[in-house]
């Protein structure tokens, strides 16, 4: 009933290690016992699985994320200091998360040069260090100052590794049709004169009712967002979204 198959591993059969057993295995593993290191890894695979589930909405293969998370787990096992008065999970979770995030950044759909990525990773490290020291989120100028780099260069590097957002990413749902990023995009170059230039679809537009024509005009010829159209017409953005989709379906059928 609780079985989860990932990378060929049945997680229902994974061992669970208590604290005393963990300390004994750590002492042996750090002394060079490879079997103890393997036992520690096997005993903490459920921890990796729980972290991988946080990244389930990224569209990545969960098996790949699990394997990357295991690399972070092994690094945590090799570097964990028994003299620290903390649980291993407290130490390991940030290591595993960091490894997965690094993998996601390096495999971003937008290719970024290694030098820019290196600046971005150092900026993230500096940000975490400043946040721990000051107890607040540091300003970009403070991060750049810690690194000895211009603020513009740090901002550029962090923007470069940001994950791109799809135009069809839903940002709102009122229980009906969702509102997507593309629905919030405004074309600054569009103008009223484009309405008269689109003669090829004049017949199709005439088949729509007055309100549908106005919505299509404002959205695709004037270049307004759905929110702006909703305010002008006096209805909700969700209603504009539904009317727009229905009008586009009718236009396609007519044309």
Say what the pLDDT of residue 1 is. 42
| 151 — pLDDT class (breaks 50, 70, 90) | very high
Largest alpha-carbon pair distance within the chain?
81
**Please, what are the domains in the chain?**
1-107 (1.20.120.1810), 109-164 (1.10.10.10), 170-254 (1.10.10.10)
* Structure-block tokens of residue 211: 């309100």
The pLDDT tens digits for 162-209 are 777 777 777 777 666 777 777 777 666 655 555 545 555 777 788 888
The pLDDT tens digits for 52-81 are 888 876 677 888 888 899 999 999 999 888
pLDDT reading at 138 higher than 70: yes
Q: Supply the pTM of this predicted model.
A: 0.45
């Amino acid at each position: 009933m609780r079985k989860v198959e990932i990378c060929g591993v049945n997680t229902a059969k994974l061992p669970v290690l208590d604290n005393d057993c963990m300390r004994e295995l750590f002492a042996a593993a750090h002394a060079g016992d490879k079997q103890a290191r393997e036992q520690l890894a096997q005993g903490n695979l459920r921890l990796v699985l729980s972290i991988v589930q946080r990244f389930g909405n990224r569209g990545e293969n969960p098996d790949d994320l699990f394997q990357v998370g295991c690399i972070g787990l092994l690094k945590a096992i090799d570097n964990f200091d028994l003299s620290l008065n903390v649980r291993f999970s407290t130490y390991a979770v940030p290591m595993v998360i960091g490894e997965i995030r690094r993998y996601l950044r390096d495999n971003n759909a937008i290719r970024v040069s290694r030098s820019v990525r290196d600046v971005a990773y150092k900026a993230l490290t500096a940000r975490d260090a400043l946040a721990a020291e000051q107890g607040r989120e540091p300003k970009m100028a403070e991060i750049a100052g810690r690194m000895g780099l211009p603020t513009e260069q740090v901002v550029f590097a962090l923007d470069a590794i940001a994950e791109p957002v799809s135009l069809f990413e839903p940002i709102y749902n009122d229980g009906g049709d969702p509102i997507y990023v593309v629905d919030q995009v405004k074309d600054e170059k569009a103008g009223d004169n484009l309405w008269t230039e689109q003669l090829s679809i004049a017949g199709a537009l005439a088949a729509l009712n007055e309100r549908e024509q106005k919505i299509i005009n404002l959205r695709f010829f004037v270049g307004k967002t759905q929110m702006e159209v909703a305010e002008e017409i006096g209805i909700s953005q969700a209603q504009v979204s539904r009317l727009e989709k229905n009008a586009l379906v009718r236009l396609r059928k007519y044309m």
